[in-house]
Amino acid sequence: MKLFAQLATAQATSRKIWTLAAPYFRSDEKWKARALLAGIVLLNLASVYMLVLNNDWFRLFYDALEKRDQTVFWQQLGRFTYLAFAFILISVYKFYLTQLLEIRWRTWMTGHYLQRWLSHHAFYKMELARYAANGTTPDNPDQRIQEDLNLFTVYSVSLSMGLLNAVVTLVSFVGILWGLSGIFSFTVAGSTYNIAGFMVWMALLYCVVGSVLTHFIGRPQIALNFAQQRYEADFRHHLIRVREYSEAIALDGGEKVERRQLDTRFSSVLANYLKLLKAQKNLIWFTSFFGQAAVVFPFIVAAPRFFSGAIQLGELMQISSAFGRVQDALSWFIDNYSSLAAWRATTDRLTSFEETFQALAQGNTAQAATNTVANTTDELRTQDLTVSLPNGTVLLTGLSLAVAPGDSVLLKGPSGSGKSTLFRAFAGIWPFARGQVQRPPDTMVLPQNPYFPDGPLRDALAYPEPVTAYTDEALRQALTDALLPQLASRLDDADSWSQKLSGGEKQRLAIARAFLKNPRWLLADEATSALDESAENTLYKRLLERIQAAQGALVSIAHRPGVAGFHQRQWTLVAQSQEASQARFVLSDGAVPQTPGSPPARG
Ligand code: ADP
């Protein structure tokens, strides 16, 4: 029963491999891919053929030596030259074309996966999905794309070609062994039985028993291999985090905690590795035993015929060597068990990654049915919008809001009440929002902690547009307007801007981006929180002037009372309920309360 379950798993794995592998050979690169594959198959067949020829050459050459036949000796040496040349040519091109297929296939798959990962906010949703109720947790997508795709293509090509080689070798040498085996006769209860190709059956039996045992001994390796890569990736991921947050960790003096965390992660790497090592050791015990036994097995089996005088020593030796070839070919499964285990682990990881993409695509469709984000209107409007957390907790519900051109709205509420999340829903990236959102096309979101790509400052400023879209004059003017005149002369300086700039400088650089792009609609999420009040007021004034001149609107999240004066309306989030069945907060819409000393409302 267990064996049947194993066979079913093997079949399921083959199906997964096929599902992952087939698209490349059906893609728009299919002719190149198929031609390369056909070339490699031919070269593999040719290399086995060369082995057979070589075998034959040995016979002729040694015969010539034994007979002291100089003519044949020189003739065979001449033949060896072109055989060797053909062998070298085949080996070089077999290597080259195999590598070429692997890297082309990997390139195609990488492009394909990057496309899907970066489409429809999949990269963002996958991170969110980790925290979702019943969400799938695809760990380390970076590793899937960088390492697993590489391993998958390499294993797929090398293992399938290895199998082909084994099968062809088997077919070539099984005939030879069959011919040498003769007929084995034995008598049971008075009747005589004759078995043709006895040695072939023996080789087959030997290898089938060996393969089945290998599988049962080596099986734990599959899960351990799968886990090993995950632990390695977790360890590496944490190292990257320490690098990314180096400054904050140094300021907090968090080295000891980080060291402990890294040690914990590495101890998982080590513990799993030791288990893997033990599993591999067990397998090596068996395969070594199996390999050594294979040396004497044919002699033991053929001995009765030798001692009865049915075969001579030469034949016995030939049987042993042909048996060796057949046994080698049949042992392909045993020899490649660890690689097969790694191939299967890689396939499983890629399949779960693939399934996540599919689940996200289905989620997108389901979401699209309830959540229309139209961006053709000239109004920011929501209808019956519900905003929840990934774990299902409802933050806000039944929101029907409208912001018309010329409006300026301040969104206030306690920390954690869902202000930023509401902005995410406005922007159409929050997958846990239901209801309708209409958003004007040229809406820009200014986040509290903006992102800048590493590289020249001009690219960071123009991001995500190409820098060619803007003149140097416009770029410099935007920086000056955003109170960053000192950066105006550094447009070509390449740096890691997200790390180098101070919080306030980053916010000013993001505002410079808004000045550069002049969106009509602006959602500012604590976009000036790190600035001093005077800079905050200057920049808010400039932003508002531009938006009003363009007949757009501004919605801000801000805490300082000074900013309130730049808005006409205020949405206030008030805590309502702690019960899971109800929304945590309600939103009330009203005028901005006047506080003494705040700038007069404009607009
Ligand atoms: P605010 O902007 O009002 O301070 P947020 O909108 O940032 O609040 O967050 C609202 C709530 O949603 C918080 O309790 C926060 O912990 C939670 N939250 C925000 N993002 C996520 C996320 N990616 N996964 C889980 N919870 C989140």
Looking from the CA of residue 423, the nearest atom of ligand 1 is 6
356 and 383 share a domain?
Answer: no
C-alpha to C-alpha distance for 541 and 559, rounded to whole angstroms: 17
Give the residue from 301, 334, 361 where a domain finishes: 361
Q: Which pLDDT score is estimated for 113?
A: 93
- Mean pLDDT calculated for residue range 373-398: 83
The answer for residues whose C-beta is within 8 angstroms of residue 202's C-beta and 6 or more apart is 297, 298, 301, 323
Looking from the CA of residue 415, the nearest atom of ligand 1 is 4
Quick: pLDDT tens for 426-461: 888 888 888 888 888 888 999 888 999 889 999 999
Task: Write out the DSSP string of 392-404.
Answer: S-EEEEEE--EE-
How far apart are the CA of 586 and the centre of ligand 1, in A? 16
Is the pLDDT at 144 greater than 60? The verdict is yes
- Mean pLDDT calculated for residue range 104-121: 93
Q: Phi-psi bin for 182: left (phi > 0), alpha (psi -120 to 50), beta?
A: left
- Mean pLDDT calculated for residue range 517-543: 92
- Mean pLDDT calculated for residue range 268-292: 91
Looking from the CA of residue 526, the nearest atom of ligand 1 is 2
Whether 419 is in a domain gets the answer: yes
How far apart are the CA of 178 and the centre of ligand 1, in A? 73
179 and 310 share a domain?
Answer: yes
Mutate to test the pocket of ligand 1, among 395, 420, 449, 585 (most ligand atoms within 8 A of CB): 420
Alpha helices in 182-254 (DSSP H): 198-218, 220-244, 246-252
Q: Which pLDDT score is estimated for 281?
A: 92
Domain that holds residue 560: 371-591
Mutate to test the pocket of ligand 1, among 421, 430, 574 (most ligand atoms within 8 A of CB): 421
Strands 433-438 and 380-388: antiparallel
How far apart are the CA of 418 and the centre of ligand 1, in A? 6
Whether 2 is in a domain gets the answer: no
Lowest mean pLDDT among 259-263, 415-419, 481-485: 415-419
Q: Which pLDDT score is estimated for 337?
A: 82
27 and 136 share a domain?
Answer: yes
- CATH number of the domain where residue 482 is located: 3.40.50.300
Is the pLDDT at 330 greater than 80? The verdict is no
CA atoms within 13 A on the CB side of 600: 2
Q: Which pLDDT score is estimated for 262?
A: 96
By three-state DSSP, how is residue 585 classified? strand
Lining ligand 1 with CB less than 6 A are 128, 131, 389-390, 413, 415-421
Secondary structure E strands in 254-407: 373-374, 380-388, 394-399, 402-403
| Total count of domains within the chain | 2
Is the pLDDT at 90 greater than 90? The verdict is yes
444 and 559 share a domain?
Answer: yes
Q: Which pLDDT score is estimated for 469?
A: 87
C-alpha to C-alpha distance for 424 and 438, rounded to whole angstroms: 13
- Top pLDDT among 19 and 187 is at 19
386 and 346 share a domain?
Answer: no
Beta-bridge mates of residue 522: 444, 554
Whether 602 is in a domain gets the answer: no
The answer for residues whose C-beta is within 8 angstroms of residue 539's C-beta and 6 or more apart is 482, 483, 508, 511, 528, 531
- Mean pLDDT calculated for residue range 159-167: 92
Q: Which pLDDT score is estimated for 70?
A: 92
Lowest mean pLDDT among 6-15, 90-99, 144-153, 508-517: 6-15
Whether 14 is in a domain gets the answer: no
Whether 502 is in a domain gets the answer: yes
Task: Quickly state the pLDDT bin for 601 (edges 50, 70, 90).
Answer: very low
Whether 5 is in a domain gets the answer: no
304 and 442 share a domain?
Answer: no
395 and 326 share a domain?
Answer: no
Q: Which pLDDT score is estimated for 269?
A: 96
Is the pLDDT at 6 greater than 60? The verdict is yes
In the chain, the amino acid numbered 441 is P
| Placement of tokens 């990736």 in the chain | 233
Give the residue from 361, 380, 402 where a domain finishes: 361
- Longest Cα–Cα distance of the chain, Å, equals 119
337 and 444 share a domain?
Answer: no
Is the pLDDT at 133 greater than 50? The verdict is no
Whether 158 is in a domain gets the answer: yes
Q: Which pLDDT score is estimated for 374?
A: 60
Give the residue from 310, 340, 361 where a domain finishes: 361
The answer for residues whose C-beta is within 8 angstroms of residue 160's C-beta and 6 or more apart is none
C-alpha to C-alpha distance for 226 and 283, rounded to whole angstroms: 18
Report the nearest-CA residue for atom 13 of ligand 1. 416
- Mean pLDDT calculated for residue range 483-487: 93
- CATH number of the domain where residue 204 is located: 1.20.1560.10
Task: Write out the DSSP string of 506-570.
Answer: HHHHHHHHHHHH--SEEEEESTTTTS-HHHHHHHHHHHHHHHHHTT-EEEEE--SHHHHTT-SEE
Mutate to test the pocket of ligand 1, among 128, 417, 422 (most ligand atoms within 8 A of CB): 417
58 and 127 share a domain?
Answer: yes
431 and 576 share a domain?
Answer: yes
Is the pLDDT at 535 greater than 50? The verdict is yes
Report the nearest-CA residue for atom 26 of ligand 1. 389
Lowest mean pLDDT among 71-75, 301-305, 400-404, 517-521: 301-305
451 and 528 share a domain?
Answer: yes
Task: Quickly state the pLDDT bin for 136 (edges 50, 70, 90).
Answer: low
How far apart are the CA of 395 and the centre of ligand 1, in A? 9
- Mean pLDDT calculated for residue range 399-416: 90
Q: Which pLDDT score is estimated for 587?
A: 81
By three-state DSSP, how is residue 494 classified? strand
Looking from the CA of residue 391, the nearest atom of ligand 1 is 25
Tell me the CA distances in angstroms from 190 to 146, 194, 353, 515, 570, one per residue in order: 68, 13, 64, 103, 105
| Placement of tokens 């447009």 in the chain | 491
Average pLDDT, the chain: 86
How far apart are the CA of 592 and the centre of ligand 1, in A? 25
Task: Quickly state the pLDDT bin for 603 (edges 50, 70, 90).
Answer: very low
Quick: pLDDT tens for 344-385: 888 988 998 888 888 887 776 656 555 556 666 788 888 899
Which of 331-340, 377-386, 588-597 shows the highest mean pLDDT? 377-386
How far apart are the CA of 388 and the centre of ligand 1, in A? 10
457 and 565 share a domain?
Answer: yes
Other C-beta atoms within 10 Å of 268: how many? Answer: 17
Looking from the CA of residue 422, the nearest atom of ligand 1 is 6
Is the pLDDT at 56 greater than 50? The verdict is yes
Which has the closest alpha carbon to 526: 541, 548, 511?
511
Q: Which pLDDT score is estimated for 230?
A: 84
Quick: pLDDT tens for 200-221: 888 888 888 888 888 888 888 8
C-alpha to C-alpha distance for 253 and 250, rounded to whole angstroms: 5
- Top pLDDT among 576 and 15 is at 15
Number of continuous H segments (helices) and E segments (strands) in the chain: 20, 15
How far apart are the CA of 394 and the centre of ligand 1, in A? 11
Task: Quickly state the pLDDT bin for 2 (edges 50, 70, 90).
Answer: low
Is the pLDDT at 171 greater than 90? The verdict is no
Q: What share of the chain in percent tops pLDDT 70? A: 93
Whether 601 is in a domain gets the answer: no
Secondary structure E strands in 427-498: 433-438, 443-446, 455-456, 494-495
Is the pLDDT at 153 greater than 90? The verdict is yes
Lowest mean pLDDT among 93-97, 142-146, 513-517, 525-529: 142-146
C-alpha to C-alpha distance for 386 and 176, rounded to whole angstroms: 75
Is the pLDDT at 531 greater than 80? The verdict is yes
